[in-house]
Structure 1
């Protein structure tokens, strides 16, 4: 074979191999094209559609909040907004500056927009401006083609028709924070309930979000809206409070610091619940200047704090009924036994003073409650002991939250041997028992706990969970205290006489409406130590002391006296004597309540009726 034949065979073999390789590559490419265009066509069609269509969630209309009669406490109104999706903005600095020039915004407003954007993921829409005027909103729409990632939105804003009167109760809606995102991880929109009912019932009020489909061009600018589903409106909430009584109570506390509330003793419904001083819900909901916020936070009288359930106070003489019950239940004293009050009670080289230096003379248990004799309860404390006092306080719900359907409630303090050892690493002293028996010392309670206590005293010993949402269903008590009716009757007689007998500490606040009277008990709580020298020269009256050194003023009570239905609790910080300040406020609120036939409904008395209460 010649050399030319050998070379021809090698060339043909290489040509064949090259052709086979080309054919193989062609088959691979054809197979891949078939896979992409046929087998995976739905997937890539969806991806292409995603590039063309933007899908976003729309906040549902927030549920309204009303009082028990349907009067509006929180509603919605139109809110013209600017919303941005950061990842769709070509140049954030340029866009923000353009918005600033277009809307005549100062540098701080532009920086605030930048701060809002930094707090959310870049793919999530964020409202950077709201409450725009119609002219500003129209100007934005005219310039929209030059603002990538910017979207004008007709949103909603929360409005509170009675902002000051229901501030602590209803709460407000504000800009969401990182803490809110951790608490409620599926928030749609830029606002969330920050306090009160708005916060506690956030999931109910905000409803189910809708969905919006819009067509966008290559740079993410909206071309047209394809489809919009509005979502499901949030649940409307009817509160148990009566707006008229709420407004009256708020006005009655104007200029004071404290709280006042009325509770249905059979259902646990709060008919009114006021904390003072108050603040404007609408301002906080829309956003306030830093300086104004700091003034609210630093204010001496703490307007942002709901004192009804977060204020902690020594209950003072309003606690004496529980000490009396602790003694009666274990038969440690005959209620008719008289103890002599000279104004000073001596024990172990210490002197404990009655609130009146002249003393009350010989008093029995009913007299002691009526006149609020400290000496009687000093002596009773030694017979009862701290263990029984602590036990009775806990039975009435002290030392733990009441379970009201609001966030942030405080539990208070019930002192005892174990508590003292755990907190001070020392033993309990008998002198501390004497002070605890008149509701001072380490003992602390919220005004709401005092209302729950009073309701249990009035309804025959049923401890109820207070509630703020209106209910027409039967309510089961948290517990039956199983107190002897005859012992409750003694305490009730003392409370009746405290308000309706000339020697009673609240006699000046007695009332009579359609045969109904009020029973109750005053309390005056010292917040400073009175020295021996001051007692010798004369105790300085509250009116001559700085505000923060004055006594706290307390009153608890219920109406009607002979068929109880509503309990009242009033605590005025540094108000002075309970009979001079808190009791008149409670009387005025109860008069307003009894005159309102739409609130007062007939109810069967819980427990044994006792005619002596009405005597």
Structure 2
């Protein structure tokens, strides 16, 4: 039997109605989904989008704070501020960094790769990112402002820029500023500092950065779709930093810089009764203005690779053999140990055998028979070989330590050298050898392993001038806020006392005056002021030219200045350090009167 299928005819209206119902269900579902999405955006992401919307319309331009001034003891400005322009972009307003950077004038000398990276890696897209180093000329700024619609997202910022009116003079003690680096940020080196901010990198600028750094202000502005300012909504002024007054006298500093000239070396001048540093010179030097607007790669490489090392502060960090200036300490140790008196003599024949070695005097043929005063005046090596061997290495080291050698002085600068005060235990530990009599002989004339800084030797000669007191050297007298209130003062701080009897001081002072009047330091003698001091010539094996020292004080009978002059690898066959000392002090005390050119 054949099966028959039964089929009911469907009403067309019913079919259409069913489709309408399905469509309504779809519309309702879509509407419900839309409501859910809107609710989520409002409740979950609403704050974020309100923030983005508002910040695309409102932007905060930081107002950099001027750094505090650095002034000398008389109020002469050594570091100040100038206004300059820079070009920046607001990353959130830049759609195509490559297109923008390529369209900017070539006169800006933008490092396009670096600028692009800064824009793309900006932590805060609403904060302007500097494109170039500070210091855009006015013609370029005018060009940008007249065509600002062609450079969407760019802004012109006004900055206070550091200026050092004396350029290279006092560069090592003033230091310089630079952009804070990632390491400093991660260490929270300076609280409140952000990427792109300028901080002290060296010298006074670094050590007193927390006082010199001002507090940034800000300006909230409304911008259009191109990022162009429309109006200022609110503004908070920046607060300048505090002013730092140094103990330096810039006039004395200029004299010392000029007289050291093109030679490599250092000059340090201080008040022997307080520890105040009045001048601090290191040559070769540099112009800190190179760093103020952002140093170029070319200039940075040139400074870093310069074999003369102009960035090193030789006065504070340089370490040298003290040579015959160390004889002052050996003489003091001998007198205070009662190992010699002012009348006893030693014979100098020009050489002395110590063990199986011959140690020679600088004067061929020798000095003959000398007492201690004569040995200091004429800097007899053979005399001090014998004296050092008599008192022993331990007593010499003890007195050297009392005079402040072998450790940092504590001056308010970073990276101070501490020198090297060798001993038998040091030699065994570092050289794997015993200490011999020859080591003591070498040490007695300031040669061998011993190393000192010029600043340490200023403490040595100051102690002779002031009666045995050792002061911590310092560069800052006071810190003053922008309203003129003194917020911090610095005072002399005694850190030690060398046991020097009146008779010891009398012998040493008489001898040091004789050094200049008739001995090895005669080139310091002049018609203006009496100088007392000691010369030194640090010899090197292999024929390298020696370093030349002079340490002294003036006036001899009532010292107001102590001075150290070091000339590295002197080119002249004379005691050039003594001559430089005479020229500096005669100008300071006598308004430019020159030194004599022959011994009195």
1:348 is matched with 355
Compute the TM-score of the two structures, normalised by the length of structure 2: 0.84
Residues 1:326 and 2:333 are matched in the alignment = yes
3-state DSSP of counterpart to 1:198: helix
Partner Cα separation in structure 2 for residue 319 and residue 119 of structure 1: 57
Partner Cα separation in structure 2 for residue 118 and residue 410 of structure 1: 43
1:486 Cα deviation from its structure 2 partner: 2.1
1:178 Cα deviation from its structure 2 partner: 2.5
Change (3 A) 1:367 1:143: same
Partner Cα separation in structure 2 for residue 564 and residue 154 of structure 1: 50
Deviates more, 1:355-364 or 1:283-292: 283-292
Q: Which runs of 5+ in 1 are unaligned?
A: 1-21, 531-548, 598-615
2:520 is matched with 505
1:110 is matched with 112
Residues 1:128 and 2:131 are matched in the alignment = yes
Alignment check: 8 A CA contact 2:70 2:245 kept: yes
1:66 Cα deviation from its structure 2 partner: 1.6
Alignment check: 8 A CA contact 2:107 2:140 kept: no
Residue 518 of structure 1, aligned match among 525, 531, 535: 531
Measured against aligned partners, the alpha-carbon deviations of 1:535-566 in whole angstroms (never above 9, x if no partner) come to xxxxxxxxxxxxxx211110000011111121
Count of aligned pairs: 545
Partner Cα separation in structure 1 for residue 491 and residue 208 of structure 2: 22
Alignment check: 8 A CA contact 1:553 1:577 kept: no
Residues 1:485 and 2:502 are matched in the alignment = yes
Alignment check: 8 A CA contact 1:103 1:136 kept: no
1:591 Cα deviation from its structure 2 partner: 1.2
Matches within 5 A, 1:265-276: 265-276=272-283
Alignment check: 8 A CA contact 2:73 2:247 kept: yes
Matches within 5 A, 1:163-242: 163-182=167-186, 183-184=189-190, 186-187=192-193, 189-217=196-224, 222-242=229-249
3-state DSSP of counterpart to 2:534: strand
2:541 is matched with 528
1:112 Cα deviation from its structure 2 partner: 4.7
Partner Cα separation in structure 2 for residue 244 and residue 573 of structure 1: 24
Change (3 A) 1:439 1:119: farther
3-state DSSP of counterpart to 1:363: strand
Partner Cα separation in structure 1 for residue 214 and residue 306 of structure 2: 36
2:22 is matched with none
Change (3 A) 1:524 1:88: same
Alignment check: 8 A CA contact 1:410 1:446 kept: yes
Partner Cα separation in structure 2 for residue 137 and residue 226 of structure 1: 24
Q: CA RMSD in A?
A: 3.1
1:265 Cα deviation from its structure 2 partner: 0.9
Alignment check: 8 A CA contact 2:343 2:371 kept: yes
Measured against aligned partners, the alpha-carbon deviations of 1:502-530 in whole angstroms (never above 9, x if no partner) come to 2x1112321343xx411000000112247
Matches within 5 A, 1:353-392: 353-392=360-399
1:7 is matched with none
Change (3 A) 1:310 1:275: same
Measured against aligned partners, the alpha-carbon deviations of 1:445-481 in whole angstroms (never above 9, x if no partner) come to 1111111211112111111111111357642311222
Partner Cα separation in structure 2 for residue 461 and residue 119 of structure 1: 59
1:10 is matched with none
Partner Cα separation in structure 1 for residue 206 and residue 337 of structure 2: 45
1:344 Cα deviation from its structure 2 partner: 0.3
Measured against aligned partners, the alpha-carbon deviations of 1:19-72 in whole angstroms (never above 9, x if no partner) come to xxx9xxx9xx99x98xx89xx999998786555433353211111112111112
Measured against aligned partners, the alpha-carbon deviations of 1:114-164 in whole angstroms (never above 9, x if no partner) come to 465578635454322231111111121233334343211111211111112
Partner Cα separation in structure 2 for residue 361 and residue 278 of structure 1: 44
Compute the TM-score of the two structures, normalised by the length of structure 1: 0.82
Partner Cα separation in structure 2 for residue 266 and residue 116 of structure 1: 53
1:262 Cα deviation from its structure 2 partner: 0.8
Q: Which runs of 5+ in 2 are unaligned?
A: 1-27, 479-488, 593-600
Residues 1:144 and 2:148 are matched in the alignment = yes
3-state DSSP of counterpart to 1:409: coil
Change (3 A) 1:50 1:126: closer
1:91 is matched with 96
Alignment check: 8 A CA contact 1:523 1:578 kept: no
Alignment check: 8 A CA contact 1:552 1:578 kept: no
Alignment check: 8 A CA contact 2:402 2:497 kept: no
1:443 Cα deviation from its structure 2 partner: 0.5
Alignment check: 8 A CA contact 2:263 2:567 kept: yes
Change (3 A) 1:115 1:564: farther
1:578 Cα deviation from its structure 2 partner: 8.9
Alignment check: 8 A CA contact 2:522 2:578 kept: no
2:485 is matched with none
1:13 is matched with none
Matches within 5 A, 1:1-150: 49-50=54-55, 52-99=57-104, 102-105=105-108, 109-114=111-116, 121=123, 123=125, 124-129=127-132, 130-150=134-154
3-state DSSP of counterpart to 2:395: helix
1:87 Cα deviation from its structure 2 partner: 4.5
Alignment check: 8 A CA contact 2:303 2:309 kept: yes
Which 4+ stretches in 1 moved above 6 angstroms?
40-48
